[in-house]
Amino acid sequence: MCGIVGYIGNRLAVPVLIDGLKRLEYRGYDSAGIAILEGDKIEVIKTKGKVSDLANMVEKKKFMANLGIAHTRWATHGEPNSINAHPHSDCSGDIVLVHNGIIENYLSLKKYLEEKGHTFKSDTDTEVLTHLIEENMKDCKSDSFTDVLFQSLAEVQGTYGLAIINKNYPDSLFIARKGSPILIGKGKDEYIVASDVAAVLRYTREIIYLEDGEIAEINRDGYHVLNSVNDEVQKKVQQISWNLEMIEKNGYDHFMLKEIHEQKNSLENTIRGRLNYEEGTARLDGLIDYIDDLKNAPRIVITACGTSWHAALIGEYLIEEFAGIPVEVEYASEFRYRSPIINEGDIVFVISQSGETADTLGALREAKRKGAIVLGICNVVGSTIARETDAGVYIHAGPEIGVASTKAFTSQVMVLIMIALMLGRMKNLPLERGRNIVNALREIPKLVEDVLKNDRKIKELAKILSNHNNALYLGRGYNFPVALEGALKLKEISYIHAEGYPAAEMKHGPIALIDEHMPTIVIATKDAIYEKIVSNVQEVKARGGTVISIINREDTKIRELSDEVIEVPHTITPLTPIVNVIPLQLLAYYVAIERGCNVDQPRNLAKSVTVE
């Protein structure tokens, strides 16, 4: 998704802006651009392709500016080229801006502005904003630029995170937000604005998040934030605990590989201080005000997208098993538009790594509109979803930069296990079972480390899998969502078509696909329905399929039936998803490497999807 960086201060703006864009590259983009106030002129430089290409173009020019904005674009309206890249300018070249989001009524605005004599250079929706502001400047009686911004943005339908410079306000940087995140990093006599905290961490960890409808004017010596009715608001400055090292590769070839290998630590961070062996339960302080509501909830709805939705499915199994509360899981994009029924007392959980996913945010707001208590499970502290939920639990996985989510997934599942355990212990889950679960949870980081150490076999299998165009992932019970997640990982980064299925569903259709060209990856660790999985593997083998199974070390039956196996250590069934997904993450990674794919920036994908 698009990325925004802006700078005002006493340093040279260009290196700060380029560094910020590089930190946002992981989000996915196709073109990049920069605008700086150089002397009394705004210089705009844009290019299709990489931030490094842009850096080469600007560095030659030795700009001295210390005010500027920059952008990485992920095309929505108009093809990826240097003309459609941001920043965009008005006719005079005095007002220049970068934009994340979508202006839905841009066609009618464009028509109106063309009739007024404005000339458009690009095919983007964004460019209408520059001309609209220019047009409104003509008639505006106030000499406050923020007044003009309020007036202009009131005419806009859609979403925006904006950073704007105006040649006639040479000591100010303006930002605005509706539906697309934008924040201010507060330094000493300098401010870095960005759509993502990763771009500012090098300079500061003091962050001010803008809310929807707010506009800010930032000078070197301070900032003013105005709310949607143009009143000044005092904003809380949030301290971010992430540091620069956490958002660097630290010797790994890719962020994804680094994050896969971080999972021992990230899982330790997720459970730290939250388990209580004596009581056989978990303590989640973020939910403390809603404990009674949770305990008495007639139903829990969990909504999310993508990998977070897979975690939600595991949450359904967990909460129903441990706590006996009915759970429904729904894609956030469906939930928000289909008049979902929320009855009195129902609790809605939203799960989001980034805390900025537009569909999940839409579902959150829909659930609140319907009167539900909405609780969050987020990674990014201070993100929009974290702020807008009534309460919630942070997963503490640390920054996830790789586009394909890995460590966030395992930490989300870990949090769901703790929620289910806590609820279960408040209801009917016996103390001894609670204690067993706590013990097993404490073991998990070690088991994960164990799997990570044994990746030689997975690398070998990746060579075989990389020659196929399709793959089927099968799992049952707690490991059905793991099959979905394994398939998603493979298709996202290696572009091999893969489907996840509940193993028993295979015979209701997908079995028709089985032949020697369709490898099947079966998650077959020991549990109560192990024998059923044995039958499913036999069904694949009987049709000439190749089977790669994830099995426990002590397994013999599936080992004999399978063509290849990946061994994982044993844990109690509800915790198996965390251990079993690790080899599937590694498999997807090494297959993508075999196929020469760009793992950290897979085609067409973006890290946090802030548009619908």
Residues that bind ligand F6R (CB under 6 A): 305-308, 352-354, 357, 360, 404-405, 488, 492, 608-609
Place of tokens 């088991």: 447
| Residue whose C-alpha is closest to residue 483's, from 506, 499, 470, 462 | 499
Supply the minimum distance, in Å, between the C-beta of residue 389 and ligand F6R: 13
607 counts as catalytic: yes
Nearer to ligand F6R, 66 or 608 (CB): 608
| Residue whose C-alpha is closest to residue 95's, from 164, 191, 171 | 164
The first and second tokens of residue 155, run together, are 């005419």
Pairing of strands 232-233, 191-194: unpaired
Nearer to ligand F6R, 383 or 520 (CB): 383
Rounded-to-integer distance, Cα 386 and Cα 61, Å: 42
At 518, is the secondary structure helix, strand, or coil? coil
Q: Which of 2, 305, 378, 597 is catalytic?
A: 2
Nearer to ligand F6R, 66 or 585 (CB): 585
| Inter-CA distances, 308 with 263, 299, 353, 562, Å | 16, 20, 7, 30
Nearer to ligand F6R, 196 or 214 (CB): 196
**Omega of the bond prior to 80 within 30 degrees of 0, cis?**
no
Nearer to ligand F6R, 281 or 308 (CB): 308
Task: Please spell the DSSP secondary structure of 24-88, one letter per residue.
Answer: HGGG--SEEEEEEEETTEEEEEEEES-HHHHHHHHHTTT---SEEEEEEE--SSS-SSTTTSSPE
Task: Please spell the DSSP secondary structure of 388-445, one letter per residue.
Answer: HSSEEEE-------SSS--HHHHHHHHHHHHHHHHHHHHTT--HHHHHHHHHHHHHHH
Supply the minimum distance, in Å, between the C-beta of residue 354 and ligand F6R: 3
Please name the helix (run of DSSP H) or strand (run of DSSP E) that holds residue 508, with its range, or none.
none
**Which region holds residue 596: left if phi is over 0, alpha if psi is between -120 and 50, else beta?**
left
Nearer to ligand F6R, 306 or 545 (CB): 306
Nearer to ligand F6R, 125 or 485 (CB): 485
CA dihedral 331, 334, 337, 343 (to 10 degrees): -60
Q: Which of 48, 110, 489, 607 is catalytic?
A: 607
Supply the minimum distance, in Å, between the C-beta of residue 1 and ligand F6R: 10
| Residue whose C-alpha is closest to residue 35's, from 67, 57, 80 | 67
Nearest residue (beta carbon) to ligand F6R: 306
Supply the minimum distance, in Å, between the C-beta of residue 305 and ligand F6R: 4
Contact between 207 and 382 under an 8 Å Cβ cutoff? The reply is yes
Supply the minimum distance, in Å, between the C-beta of residue 83 and ligand F6R: 29
Contact between 321 and 360 under an 8 Å Cβ cutoff? The reply is no
Residue 89 bridge partners (DSSP): 96
Rounded-to-integer distance, Cα 410 and Cα 264, Å: 10
Beta strands in 487-572 (DSSP E): 497-502, 520-523, 547-552, 564-568
Rounded-to-integer distance, Cα 8 and Cα 218, Å: 8
305 counts as catalytic: no
N residues, the chain: 612
Secondary structure letter of residue 211 according to DSSP: P
Supply the minimum distance, in Å, between the C-beta of residue 332 and ligand F6R: 8
Nearer to ligand F6R, 102 or 325 (CB): 102
Supply the minimum distance, in Å, between the C-beta of residue 286 and ligand F6R: 17
Rounded-to-integer distance, Cα 201 and Cα 608, Å: 18
Supply the minimum distance, in Å, between the C-beta of residue 307 and ligand F6R: 3
Contact between 25 and 49 under an 8 Å Cβ cutoff? The reply is no
Nearer to ligand F6R, 195 or 352 (CB): 352
Supply the minimum distance, in Å, between the C-beta of residue 527 and ligand F6R: 26
Q: Which residues are catalytic?
A: 2, 607
